[in-house]
């Protein structure tokens, strides 16, 4: 039996994944070694749908997250602060434009 492809994946890393991922990354997220992941695919027991693209397997990140019980991306305070700053900048621009048009 082979070991995992690295340390277990944390939430922050999982939320930064692209739209589709390779099997090694998905195996790491599920907490199994790649050999076990291949075996689960052959048995039709991998926890989420797996796409075969040529000789490679790809997994949709949304399907993986759902299989892990994560339906939505959490909102972080830093994201909210950045959004609030951006909204304030838009308000300032709008206020200046309305003052200039008077």
pLDDT band, residue 73 (cuts 50/70/90)? low
Task: Judge whether 43 and 76 are in contact, CB under 8 Å.
Answer: no
How high is the pLDDT of residue 51? 93
Residues in the chain: 102
Residues 3-47 have pLDDT tens digits of 556 677 776 676 777 788 999 999 998 999 999 999 999 999 999
How high is the pLDDT of residue 99? 73
How high is the pLDDT of residue 76? 59
pLDDT above 50: residue 1: no
pLDDT above 50: residue 82: yes
CA distance 14 to 70: 10
């Amino acid at each position: 039996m082979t070991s995992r492809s690295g340390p277990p994946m944390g939430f922050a890393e999982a939320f930064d994944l692209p739209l589709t991922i390779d099997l090694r990354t998905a195996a790491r997220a599920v907490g199994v070694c790649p050999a076990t992941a291949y075996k689960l695919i052959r048995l039709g027991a991998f926890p989420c749908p797996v796409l075969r693209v040529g000789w490679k397997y790809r997994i949709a990140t949304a399907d993986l997250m759902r299989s892990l019980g994560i339906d939505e991306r959490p909102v972080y305070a830093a994201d909210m602060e950045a959004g609030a700053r951006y909204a304030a900048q838009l308000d300032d621009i709008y206020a200046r434009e309305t003052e200039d048009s008077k």
